[in-house]
Chains A and B, each alone.
Chain A
Amino acid sequence: MVNDTTGISRRQFLKATAAGVAIGLAGDPLRGFAAEEVDLAVISGEPAAATRKALEAIGGMSRFVKKGQRVVIKPNMSFAKTPDFAATTHPLVVAAVAQACIDAGAREVLVLDHTLQRAELCLERTGIRDACKTLPGVHVLAMKDRKFFQEIRIPQGKVLDKVEVLRDILDSVLISVPVAKSHSATGVSLGLKGLMGLIWDRESFHYRFNINQGIADLATAIKPALTVLDATRAMTTGGPGGPGDVKKPNLIVAGADPVAVDSYGVGIVPWYGRNFNGRQVEHLLIAHQRGLGKIDVEKLKITKGAA
């Protein structure tokens, strides 16, 4: 164990547990090394516990967040819907990720989204603000004003050469915490599609160009350090706003490669009643082809476990 801070017995216990599971599943005696090497951690269980364990299994939050850094967490809280609709990220998942950032020494954690519905309603109904209320240094904010956005260039963009993004992500570590849901335009809405919540003009993606190309373009410029996919519930039809058919895979998928996380997420449940893989999702395939991440799940190193 590298962790030499004392008094955090639960954390150490979890680490040990995660290590045990990792050993048990991967047969690897050195968890630390394993964590460096795995692409994904897939943990089943209750939202908070599974999230904590997934973060440990992927190498601990300290792998992504250094002491004194500022973190922006991007959950999906675009809709004023309660968690059971699966249109938004589970509040306990967001809180667990935020807590891990604080534990890793983050200076402050901003939980941000450019919501589709009224900001205060979204913060309220999704439960995310409440869940983070007691965490010191964590701020949950819905950004609905253009003054908080700043234009950036997208040098590798094919259809998008510039875009206005939330200014806060420019000097922060970005952690994407999407919910798994279907999407009537992009098939699924996972991590990469979720990044659209960081830009000002969301609408133009739908009519100015191919939205899938646009999402890939965006992914070349906005790169989350870590993606934690909340598949504790998955809205398999009716997305993105719902209401839709909600399944309960009870999974958390964490990984540094946003394409890999999403690609794994595609296989978790049947979407619109059919099974798909990552290569069948247009925006994931484009992102993969442009070198933004691995798409073939069978080639990924995955740590699986239960919390």
Chain B
Amino acid sequence: MKKTIQALSLLLFTALFILATYRLPDWLPADIYLRIDPLIGINAVIASREIIARVLWSLLLVGATLAVGRFFCAYLCPLGASIDGLDHLFFRKVKRSELKRDESLRRWKYALLTVTIVAALTGVSLVYFLDPIAFLTRFYTFVLDPLVIAILNLLLDLIRPVSQGLGWVGLSHLTYAQPVYYMTAVTLMIFGAVIALSRLAPRFWCRYLCPLGAFLSLLSPLGVFKRRVSEACNRCMACKKGCPMGAIDEDPLKTRLPECIQCRACAGICPEKAISFPAVYSGIGEYSRPDITRRGFVASLAGGLGFGFVGLQTPFTLLEGKRQLIRPPGAIPETEFLRTCIRCGECMKSCVTNTLQPCFWESGMTGLWTPKLEPRMAACEPNCHVCGKVCPTQAIRSLSLEEKTHARIGTAILKKESCLVWAQNKMCLICDEICPYNAIVFRPIDGYRRPVVIASRCNGCGYCEQRCPVKGESAIVVVTDGEIRLKEGSYVAEAKKLNLEFMPDPGDDKFVIEESGFKVDSEAQKEEKPPPADKPAQQKPKGFL
């Protein structure tokens, strides 16, 4: 039964992950696994010093653990299920004797829990690195999803001659847009390491490292279901050997309650059928002090403070406001954003154009895996607002499409020295053609019609930068200048205050041009003062003779 529930949970996790696309209906919380994770919640709340509404979902898991025990790890945790599955695949036949340092290793997870929480107190979000749900979501986003798509496309290519021959039009034309990401290799290496550690001990990660496991361990002894061994026990120690968590003491009658995940493997193994898991309410009677030494605790306090120190005492912190990173629309102000974002990668997965990419060191250690836009590769799609919808900590706010349109992420600036029209008098207007907001107009300057950005109409979507035909760096780039980052309140109202206008409007694109094409003779130029939209009828539109 445990395996079935695990498989179903992993399946649900995977299904929600797949559903996290721009089509995601408003009522479906695709990030529910991340929301119910109390470790993420506590850290995001502490680091950001804000109550985050979505985090309250984690009370569900806290409550359930208080009532039942640390069942999450055995039954629901998708990473646990992945580890168990891959363990079966790779290490089934490996004989693993108990690690000599089992006792001290087990304390590591409490130390890591302490480190992340202390780091959060200093305002550095560290939980993302070790939280199992964020960790697995990241692996899914940056490794598994691209891998599956690549394999699918490969298979489709392989059978394409056949599907073409058979006249299966749909199949012969089917191909999936390949998502690509920075950090895929790094993410894969870390995941690989976690799986490889299981070679040393089953569920190495869960036993020794997982800070969420550590957190649930603190609550677990209060749960109702507890392992009980009857007098039929003949001390064969089979249960101890078979316990994937090392939760059984030298004395097989005793259970290390914080470690027990109630998988009931021991009950299955016991030749005497001496083990059961009855419901016993004993209050705090069986609560034991967490397995952590004073030295270890002090060391992890120091570790957390140390992380906080090296994370924040860098020029990156001072440069936060001046940085060139384009954040997703609706991202809260940078300092709060870095504290709140748990780098699960859900926003990047769901991004319809694949423009959201994980940072490496662009904003320092505190910015690893945070989402940024890569407008040269793809633009932010005006019809999509999914990134905020799936953000479990609301580091990217969930906004209506209208609000999102006004959540300006930057402003396009034109680089005259490389623009084909400005620098070479060529006839190019791709940026104007693609701009969804009519923020680019052509004006007669130096005897030639040249593109100009109307900043008050540009919300930084990046279509111009993406499509600019100049090789190498685009001649029109989105910069963070003018971005609107609000912790609360309406972006529409803010944009109105700033006299910005992102509504689709035909007004300013009466892009007119003389018979001579882009060239404008000096007489006409004198007559026509920008903006040209005021009297468009005098010249012929481009393309007409």
Contact = CB atoms under 8 A, between A and B. Distances in A.
Nearest to A201: B469
B541 A182 contact: yes
Interface in A147-204: 147-148, 168, 182-188, 203-204
B418 interface: no
Contact of A183 (B436, B467, B543): B543
B505 A206 contact: no
A117 interface: yes
B544 A273 contact: no
A141 B510 contact: no
A280 B536 contact: no
Contact of B432 (A145, A184, A244, A282): A184
Nearest to B176: A145
B544 A185 contact: no
Contacts of B512: 272
A244 B173 contact: no
Interface residues of B, number: 42
Contacts of A279: 545
A71 B496 CA distance: 50
Please report whether the interface of chain B is mostly helix, strand, loop or mixed according to DSSP.
loop
Interface string B459-480: 0000000010100000000000
A276 B420 contact: no
Contacts of A46: none
A130 interface: no
Given A80-B383, A203-B469, A243-B438, A145 B175 contact: yes
Interface in B391-429: 420, 426-429
Nearest to A210: B427
A121 B544 contact: no
A280 B543 CA distance: 8
Contacts, number: 123
B175 A203 contact: no
Max count, chain B CB within 10 A of own CB: residue among A148, A185, A210, A240: A185
Contacts of A238: 438, 506, 509
Interface string B531-545: 000001100111111
Contact of B544 (A107, A145, A281): A281
Contact of A184 (B383, B384, B536, B542): B542
A271 B438 CA distance: 18
A274 interface: yes
Contacts of A243: 438, 504-506
Interface string B146-174: 00000000000100000000010110010
Nearest to A145: B175
A80 B434 CA distance: 12
Contact of B428 (A119, A206, A276): A206
A17 B384 CA distance: 46
A274 B540 contact: yes
B169 A108 contact: yes
A200 to B, nearest CB: 14
A207 B434 contact: no
A66 interface: no
Contact of A237 (B157, B352, B353, B510): B510
Contacts of A118: 177, 352-353, 381
Contacts of A237: 506, 509-510
A166 to B, nearest CB: 10
B228 to A, nearest CB: 56
B545 A281 contact: yes
A78 to B, nearest CB: 10
A248 B99 CA distance: 79
Interface in B223-247: none
A143 B544 contact: no
Nearest to B22: A121
Interface residues of A, number: 52
A121 B543 CA distance: 29
A184 B469 contact: no
A282 B167 contact: no
Contact of A282 (B22, B169, B509, B544): B544
B521 interface: no
Contact of B175 (A147, A211, A240, A245): A147
Nearest to A208: B469
Contact of B434 (A108, A116, A145, A168): A116
A102 interface: no
A148 B174 CA distance: 10
Nearest to B538: A274
A242 interface: yes
Given A119-B177, A244-B509, A211 B433 contact: no
Given A184-B509, A272-B541, A207 B469 contact: yes
Contacts of B435: 241
B511 interface: yes
Interface in B498-545: 504-506, 509-512, 536-537, 540-545
B545 A80 contact: no
Nearest to A204: B469
A63 interface: no
A116 B466 CA distance: 11
B422 to A, nearest CB: 13
A184 B429 CA distance: 8
A80 to B, nearest CB: 6
B481 to A, nearest CB: 25
B434 A125 contact: no
A147 B157 contact: yes
B458 to A, nearest CB: 15
A207 B426 contact: yes
A272 B510 contact: yes
A143 B504 contact: no
Given A210-B427, A273-B536, 12 more contacts: A80-B381, A119-B177, A121-B352, A183-B543, A184-B509, A184-B543, A185-B427, A206-B469, A238-B506, A242-B506, A245-B506, A272-B540
17 contacts: A108-B167, A118-B353, A118-B381, A121-B352, A121-B383, A125-B383, A183-B433, A183-B543, A185-B427, A187-B541, A204-B469, A206-B433, A238-B506, A243-B506, A245-B506, A279-B545, A282-B543
Closest 4 interchain pairs by CB?
A187-B543, A243-B504, A186-B543, A272-B541
